[in-house]
Amino acid sequence: MDTISILPPELIRMVIAVVIIISFLFLNAIMMGYAERKIAGHVQRRPGPMEVGSHGILQMVVDGVKLVGKELLIPFNVDRTLFRVAPLLSFTPVILPLLVIPFSEKLQARDLNLGLLFIVTMGSVNVMALLVGGWGSNNKYSMFGAMRAVAQAIAYEIPILLSLLAVVLMCNTFSLKEIVGAQQNIWFVFLQPVAFIIYVVAGLAETNRAPFDLPEAESELTAGFHTEYSGMGFSLFFIGEYTNMFIVASVATVLFLGGWHGPHLPYGEYLGVVWFFLKVYFLLFLMIMVRWTYPRVRFDQLLNFAWKYLVPFSLVNLLITAVVVKL
Amino acid sequence: MKQYFSELFTGGKSLVEGLGVTMKALFSPIVTVQYPREEIDITPNYRGHIDLILDPEKNTYLCISCGMCEKSCPSDCIKVKGEKMEGKKKKSLVLFELDFTKCSLCGTCVEVCPKDALEYSQEYNLAAFTKEAFHFDILKRLEERRI
Amino acid sequence: MLESEYQEHNRFFLNMGPQHPSTHGVLLIVLEMEGEYVLDPQPVLGFIHRMHEKMGESRPCQSFMPNTARMDYVCALPYNHGYVSLIERKAEIEVPKRAEYIRVITSELNRIASHLLWLGAYLLDLGAFTPILYGFDDREHILDILESITGSRLTYCYYRFGGVYQDIDDTFIAATRAFVKRLRKRYSIYEKLVTKNIIFIKRTENIGIVSPDMALRYGMTGPNLRGSGIAYDVRKNEPYSVYPEFDFEIPVGEQGDCLDRYMVRVKEIEQSLRIIEQALDRLPDGPIRAKVPKNIKLTPGDCNFAVEAARGELSYYLVGDGTSTPYRLKVRVPSYSNLSCLPELGRGILLPDLVSILGSFDLVIPEIDR
């Protein structure tokens, strides 16, 4: 779609799409929060939340109400503007990539022909939110956490880019709709297994999830860069993190696992979203399991891992892909 | 160079095995109990605070107010007082108080009693709002259990 | 150094504790840091000093029994064992064989419980959230077994001068045998989840290397000393109770890093299971308590008794003066010497490494402060 047509039918469709996506975001955060606590419980042989609602279904709703009702503490001597802006900065750039992801054949808010590049750029903006939050807290622990988070995020962007480029080389396009369309016969995970693994691992590091969650390391530096936030600020960081995970998983699905392709369903153009969600939530389930299994990686080992293992492998993978595509 | 790849391979394998352990635990039954909605039976040997034993035949206590438990308690938490009443040969027990906030459940009082008049109770879920709620009047508890 | 010089070199002081998730008790460590590196860690003790030794010197010796369990609450029965054996040595009381066997069985069960808790807490410091709950699941069984004969779950007051308080019955023996079988099957879970995990190995290998010379200089004992290569265990070098009758090994590490200390403790669990099995097979019949006078008069003179607690060599020292109250009672706890090598060991290391080293020492601060 090269011409920008903001005529009323298109405009109404965009508005409806944005509203659905934002409400889906909050719903997703609630569901994932509940799923994480229940999975964490059962992995540890205990039931997880059980009190509120039958089997704890209403737990996240009640938690949300509690967080909204808390006092928004602003500590003494902080830079007020920066302190308040940080959660917003962490929440906004994660909504935008969802507008270009193809949930199904006909369910995509806007198909940019540089869609993939747009998503990766928004991921980089996320780093700024961490830095602003850490600096604005006027607390040496938060600053430590923020600096570590920035170094981590910058180091892991390179393997992400390189592994995604391998798929782009195979399809000759950045547009996500066409990438999914090119996977009709065979999913790219079978053609590019190394790139898939590198992307998932680097994506996990990018979202500051365990075992790479050093910026939030509880047992060493209290809660890292979001120590000073309470109430709604904290919950915005929290929702931002879950949405980021969702984006990483959906990009992996779109690029490697065939997007909305699956066994035939009636109204396939719309109900392809069922297969999409199944794949995305399978990846999210794996990410949650990984958090509760492994210990934390030390900071210099984390950077070592990125520079010495992920970057060389993704470079070699890219070279081999380029050679094979050329032939 | 060879170490680079071998470390990568064994490392990756160990991570997958670890994930297998947690996956298996995910689908195993839970081992906890939803207390206080379900309760577990406790062993009869459980050491709760002490109580006077109710003699079934005479329907009264076996204590002779000798005060051995009071003297041997390391935490000074028992108070015993006996008085000679009219018409009775031995001393009657008038006061038996236990300050449970100081008790360390060592069991010395139960052991040194010459008449074996004390036993452990089985109460484990004690919670109160004031300290005075844990100053137990053991004699009164006995009176309540008398038939 | 001047304030301006401090800021130029990016040096500052960081207080780790007294309330901190990783210090295993109320321990304050004042860290002089430069960026991410620790220059000089200085532990500050005394936050939980409860005057146990003074209590031991102001009451008759029978009244000290509950205090022994409260000094190290994680592994309380060896503390009980040391104190009753001390008085028995002083007053020359002979303990019946059945009581000695029961003491060994319960002490070894408590040692396993202590090591399981340490494993979970160490991994929690490193960031893994599930092994602690698996360890507590196993530990529940031990606590239930010990509760069925002693009546307590954590602070036991079970041994008495001349024997033990209550006899064990068939349900105890059956439950212990079932537990031994169950724990042996659970080894593979810990091995796959923790011991072979590459992230865990990277966090513990070649970190906090304690050379044998350094360990001997600071008087470290227990698994910390054995991790550095020196095979010293009080149960083999100065045997007490009926330990000479059992066949078990002393696991020894090679290098003295955190991974070696971890492996020594894990292997000790298996050796304790072997001791328990042999003791259960050979359990003799007989009385469980010797006849002991009500008021034990401690003859003038001193006496000493050392046992192997889960953390190292624990020894009691007593000076009697003819009454039943000791004139001086001193407890030598293993964690005090283990902690004392931290200033030398912790120079120039990263902060996550300091957390890892502290966890591998297996400190319980209340026993340091008594």
ipTM: 0.87
Q: Does A301 touch chain B (CB under 8 A)?
A: no
Task: Scan residues 207-246 of C and list those with Cβ closer than 8 Å to B.
Answer: none
User: Which span out of A71-80, B75-84, C311-320 was modeled with the highest average pLDDT?
Assistant: C311-320
Query: In terms of domains, do B73 and B16 share one?
Result: no
Tens of pLDDT, residue by residue over C2-56, are 666 656 667 778 888 787 776 678 888 898 888 778 888 999 998 999 999 999 8
Domain presence at residue A5? no
Portion of chain A with pLDDT greater than 90, in percent: 20
Helices marked H in chain B — which ranges? 2-26, 68-72, 108-112, 138-145
Query: In terms of domains, do B77 and B139 share one?
Result: yes
Helix, strand or coil for residue B46? coil
A1: confidence class by pLDDT, cuts 50, 70, 90: very low
Q: Does B25 touch chain A (CB under 8 A)?
A: yes
Query: In terms of domains, do B13 and B71 share one?
Result: no
DSSP class of residue C191?
I
Tens of pLDDT, residue by residue over C268-295, are 999 999 999 999 999 999 998 988 888 8
DSSP class of residue C154?
S
Structure tokens at A139: 């607390």
Give B11's contacts (C-beta < 8 A, 6+ positions apart). C198
Domain presence at residue A110? yes
Domain presence at residue B75? yes
Tens of pLDDT, residue by residue over A183-205, are 888 888 888 889 999 999 999 88
Domain presence at residue B44? no
Quote the pLDDT of residue A219: 44
List chain A residues with CB under 8 Å of B26: 39, 42-43, 289
Query: In terms of domains, do B58 and B125 share one?
Result: yes
Domain presence at residue B3? yes
Range of the domain at B3: 1-31
Query: In terms of domains, do B74 and B20 share one?
Result: no
Between residues A221 and C345, the one the model is more confident about: C345
Average pLDDT of span C179-194: 92
A259: confidence class by pLDDT, cuts 50, 70, 90: confident
Number of domains in chain A: 1
Quote the pLDDT of residue A237: 80
Of how many residues is chain C composed?
370
Rounded distance between C-alpha atoms, residue C232 and residue A15, angstroms = 75
Q: Which of B22, B29, B34 shows the shortest C-beta gap to A50?
A: B34
Model confidence at A322: pLDDT above 70: yes
Domain presence at residue B37? no
Q: Which of B19, B26, B30 shows the shortest C-beta gap to A39?
A: B26
Domain presence at residue B40? no
Query: In terms of domains, do B106 and B61 share one?
Result: yes
Q: Tell me how close the Cα of B36 comes to any Cα of chain A, in angstroms.
A: 11
Range of the domain at A272: 73-326
Query: In terms of domains, do B61 and B126 share one?
Result: yes
Model confidence at A227: pLDDT above 70: no
Quote the pLDDT of residue C216: 92
Average pLDDT of span C332-340: 92
Contact A44 C129 (CB under 8 A): yes
Tens of pLDDT, residue by residue over C106-126, are 999 999 999 999 999 999 888
Closest chain B residue to C156 measured between Cα atoms? B106
List chain A residues with CB under 8 Å of B30: 41-42, 45-47
For an interface test with A, which of C7, C351, C353, C360 has the most A Cβ atoms less than 10 Å from its Cβ? C351
Domain presence at residue A171? yes
Model confidence at C92: pLDDT above 80: yes
Task: Scan residues 211-230 of A and list those with Cβ closer than 8 Å to C.
Answer: 211, 213, 217-220
Domains of chain C listed by start with CATH number = 6-369 (1.10.645.10)
Of how many residues is chain B composed?
147
Quote the pLDDT of residue A104: 82
Q: Tell me how close the Cα of C265 comes to any Cα of chain B, in angstroms.
A: 21
For an interface test with B, which of A36, A39, A46 has the most B Cβ atoms less than 10 Å from its Cβ? A46
Quote the pLDDT of residue A141: 66
Domain presence at residue B125? yes
Number of domains in chain B: 2
Q: Tell me how close the Cα of A218 comes to any Cα of chain C, in angstroms.
A: 8
Domain presence at residue A129? yes
Q: Does B8 touch chain A (CB under 8 A)?
A: yes
Residue whose structure tokens are 């990568």: B8
Q: Which of A210, A292, A295 shows the shortest C-beta gap to C200?
A: A295
Contact A290 B23 (CB under 8 A): no
| Greatest alpha-carbon span in chain C | 75
Helix, strand or coil for residue A75? coil
List chain B residues with CB under 8 Å of C66: 74-75, 104-106
Query: In terms of domains, do B2 and B59 share one?
Result: no
Q: Which chains touch B (3 or more CB pairs under 8 A)?
A: A, C
Query: In terms of domains, do B25 and B58 share one?
Result: no
**Predicted TM-score of the model (pTM):** 0.90
List chain C residues with CB under 8 Å of B11: 198
Model confidence at A223: pLDDT above 60: no
Closest chain C residue to B22 measured between Cα atoms? C193
Contact C125 A301 (CB under 8 A): no
Query: In terms of domains, do B58 and B89 share one?
Result: yes
Cβ-defined contacts of C200-203 (< 8 Å, 24+): C200/A295, C200/C123, C200/C126, C200/C128, C201/C259, C202/A297, C202/A298, C202/A301, C203/A295, C203/A296, C203/A297, C203/A298, C203/A301, C203/C126, C203/C258, C203/C352, C203/C356
Domain presence at residue A13? no
Say which range, A75-84, B106-115, C322-331, has the weakest mean pLDDT.
A75-84
Rounded distance between C-alpha atoms, residue A153 and residue A209, angstroms = 12
Rounded distance between C-alpha atoms, residue A98 and residue A231, angstroms = 26
